[in-house]
Structure 1
């Protein structure tokens, strides 16, 4: 029988035995090496996971906190094994999902943009990885048999942007006088040639359109993520949320149409377009990246508001960088995304917020949407949440991936920050309208995620009267997403790229939103500590942020343990 400390160390060693994971968490040992994409390497890693899971069944724990950590370790390993064993058309899903582009570029990009060391050792690591990339891509082609059509198309699109990343790195190396420029140039040329061969070979492969995993697997996945609802119940929840939100949008539409003296027949979609144009972010000097100035401005305004009202605990050692999305990530970042602080890096906890700025998607970035984007991705949203978790003493709570915990927190905040008066009264209705139109993506994501995973079109019926008769799942999904949200066509397609490959993640937004609001409501109703509403808010935020990452169902146990429920 293992002691808790032995179990935690064994779990840590297992997680960090994967080179890609190790670097992504901020551990620089072996940062000059690419991981092994072979099926043999994955099989060995999963055999070790199964053996460790068995060991964790019997561990000596001392109290609630240690027992909770063991449960989280077990659940994490079970999820890894679930996806390892997941099949697509008689073969492991891994063989249907090309990942060579991310495999060679993710670590290089991190070393380039998010590494605190001097340039020389970082470039040495990048050079080494570039030299290994051709062999990596060759192995990836051996792994992939007949890929899923959409996943293959996304890989091809991402691959087209990689040479621009390498060009930027070479320019940087040249500017700082890197001593191995000739080697770097040769490695980039060889990598680009290998990448071109890899993409050409992928493009020539026969592909498979269907990628559903079936209702039973979806139920299994929901149970592993501690989401205590069936797919049908989740779809019903989405329909109910759609009806509630549409009623509010109708009321806001009536108010705003009168306020701006628009035609009485103005639709929600037309009003949304009018507001996007009316409050468009000014492009300065024809530079798209000048839009980032508005994000920086609101980031500071939000932090000032939070400090003045002492709403959330703000760690001293935390920071956030706001950047334009690089070309090769645009196919999978529709509007914005946040790379959390590297959980195991010592010192300041720094997040990277990427914003996709394209001519055909600039309507997504306006002075009504920008404040809520920063609430969601920055502080008090994902950045604050993960920066706080990265300070937790528990290894598993620094790294645990619980999507409904993360997205439930941030989407709850979109309403909360409006309710407590962050946005001025003169435009609060406009911001709420745009936010509620935007939040309908949560409803669409539930329906589309369930549809993609099961192949059942009924899950697309979330309260809109639409015809889903197409045999193309992406045409049906796009119709729902476009109608529900008014997103640009470019954003719709980028959203669907990741919906299709991140099974169970898209539905976590609304599911998490409902779970977090219910948890908060239950705590308010119980009010066992007899606190006023403002102080109860503060303590809810404090416990939520300082408990680390875990499923919302596990977090409920934490609040029970501390006497709030």
Structure 2
């Protein structure tokens, strides 16, 4: 399970571009400068002013002392700004654009419509407390762990964000009403994790950052105390006031579901056909899973074979060390077999997932932003079980990190998955492609990588490796179907959990976490959907190239385009192609 941080950004490059050092939002009554490049500058300037965490993540540090202001009038204003930008973009698209500009303009058209859909139709800001609860720790964590400036300077920015945090939590209490219980439950987890972060992790870092500057540390303590109190109050409010009133529906409905896929992934497929594609792929993977399990042990059921595989896992305290061992194996295979060019010798830092980020995932990649020139640290996070969990739940959690499966997780998160995407980002050709991404590309590529690398010989034909890969594929296949069912056919989270267990061989606790994720991440079908689109693109690219086709060339060309929807990647890699993406 991946939680790559990309709210609307690819956040992946190590070079800065001229002309973006101090972006400012365009006032509604200011005449718009001409030209597409100016529009791109203004779009991202407005985005970063609206959501300062995204600016920090991108490597732009002019907003490091600020947090988003999500009071209702500000949200209305943001929607108005987007509509004005959209009208301006329509005019530009009706004129003459270069080929690259046309691709980028289509990308931003969809990005604007996707955000408006979220603000005005889906409206998670009215029904999901995590929208507010996650921002303070997330924004401060980025300032702590990336050394783009001296620690004392970063501490000053931290203090600025601390001062803004209580107001953000106040907006949550004003805006959120009648949320789904699933969202409130998750909000309570994030709130309690944030209390721990601000009470323990942050002060320890701040003391070191302040050094001998006692006045600076005192200023930090004065700003941090109200935040701890605000999160404690928020946790109590969620548990005692919000939870009893949490009777809302998480389903966004068929129309919004289809529109999300159209605006975010550029997918234009009827819902019934989309579901049929997912069900057919699940059936194929199930059949292959059963056949592979028989190769391992024909006397046991597939579930029993998988259970045997899953029992071979590290202890929680050994998880980071065991993950570290997978990096070199997977990277070496890429180089030796010429699967894809690896453009750097730098490895990611492997660490436990910070407490405030533990919302049900197992592993994630957190990379530096597009304009970050100094803080080049990339973090490969793995999530251990919580100490307060009962023994059975801990064991179920750790089974996901079985010895064979951990290699597949690293293939997804690092080589040749998300970390390789980060390493390639310096080759992204335009500003938009350095800052924008979509799930079917980013997650689709990482999921494609799991299957592709095994097909190319990783594991030397060991059926256990193939079974581990298929186990991950079945998980994503179930997400595909459960997401559709939860949001368009009235399924409950319990029904989703049952589907994961029965159709995907998923542990019950993990199945619950996966189904609950579908309640707030409706279109998490983008893993399988993207994988299928990439395989089709590869087949079509191979036909076009004929005898000149090289797998490494295809992979290099794909990853260096950035995180665009596959429909646009096809336009770039197959000039003149008008075929479907599926």
After TM superposition, the score normalised by the length of structure 2 is: 0.85
Deviation larger for 476-485 or 6-15: 6-15
Residue matched to 2:552: 538
What is the CA–CA distance in structure 1 between the aligned matches of 2:166 and 2:42, rounded to whole Å?
A: 33
Q: Deviations along 1:235-256, whole A, 9 cap, x unmatched?
A: 1112111221121112112111
Q: 1:132 to 1:348 in 2, by over 3 A?
A: closer
Q: 1:184 to 1:494 in 2, by over 3 A?
A: farther
* Alignment of 1:324 onto 2:352: yes
Residue 61 of structure 2 is aligned with which of 28, 33, 39? Answer: 28
- Contact 1:402 / 1:551 at 8 angstroms: preserved in 2? yes
Residue matched to 1:239: 279
Q: 1:488 to 1:118 in 2, by over 3 A?
A: farther
> How many angstroms does 1:307 deviate by?
2.3
What is the CA–CA distance in structure 1 between the aligned matches of 2:377 and 2:347, rounded to whole Å?
A: 5
Q: Which has the higher contact order (CA 8 A, sep 6+)?
A: 2
Residue matched to 2:425: 389
* Alignment of 1:415 onto 2:447: no
- Consecutive unaligned residues in structure 1, runs of 5 or more: 259-263, 458-472
* Alignment of 1:184 onto 2:220: yes
Residue matched to 1:441: 475
Residue 12 of structure 1 is aligned with which of 44, 63, 74? Answer: 44
Q: 1:117 to 1:417 in 2, by over 3 A?
A: same
Residue 368 of structure 1 is aligned with which of 404, 424, 433? Answer: 404
Deviation larger for 490-499 or 206-215: 490-499
- Contact 1:338 / 1:382 at 8 angstroms: preserved in 2? yes
- Contact 1:330 / 1:356 at 8 angstroms: preserved in 2? yes
Q: Deviations along 1:42-85, whole A, 9 cap, x unmatched?
A: 22122111111111112254432121111111111111111111
- Contact 2:363 / 2:383 at 8 angstroms: preserved in 1? yes
Q: Deviations along 1:171-206, whole A, 9 cap, x unmatched?
A: 233345362333333433321111122222233131
Q: Report the 3-state secondary structure (helix = DSSP H, G, I; strand = E; otherwise coil) of the residue aligned with 2:297.
A: helix
> How many angstroms does 1:551 deviate by?
0.4
Residue matched to 2:437: 401
- Contact 1:478 / 1:493 at 8 angstroms: preserved in 2? yes
Residue matched to 1:68: 103
* Alignment of 1:496 onto 2:496: no
- Contact 1:349 / 1:390 at 8 angstroms: preserved in 2? no
- Consecutive unaligned residues in structure 2, runs of 5 or more: 1-32, 386-393
Residue matched to 1:344: 371
Residue matched to 1:479: 498
Residue 142 of structure 1 is aligned with which of 135, 157, 174? Answer: 174
- Contact 2:500 / 2:511 at 8 angstroms: preserved in 1? yes
- Contact 2:294 / 2:302 at 8 angstroms: preserved in 1? no
User: Which residues of 2 match residues 163-312 of structure 1 at below 5 A?
Assistant: 163-166=195-198, 167-175=200-208, 177=211, 179=213, 180-203=216-239, 204-205=241-242, 206-224=245-263, 225-258=265-298, 264=299, 266-277=300-311, 279-281=312-314, 283=315, 288-312=316-340
Q: Report the 3-state secondary structure (helix = DSSP H, G, I; strand = E; otherwise coil) of the residue aligned with 1:210.
A: coil
Q: Report the 3-state secondary structure (helix = DSSP H, G, I; strand = E; otherwise coil) of the residue aligned with 1:322.
A: strand
> How many angstroms does 1:563 deviate by?
9.1
What is the CA–CA distance in structure 2 between the aligned matches of 1:485 and 1:185, rounded to whole Å?
A: 48
After TM superposition, the score normalised by the length of structure 1 is: 0.88
Q: Deviations along 1:353-389, whole A, 9 cap, x unmatched?
A: 2111113311111220111111101121011113323
- Contact 2:148 / 2:373 at 8 angstroms: preserved in 1? no
* Alignment of 1:97 onto 2:137: no
Count of aligned residue pairs for this structure pair:
526
Residue matched to 1:125: 157
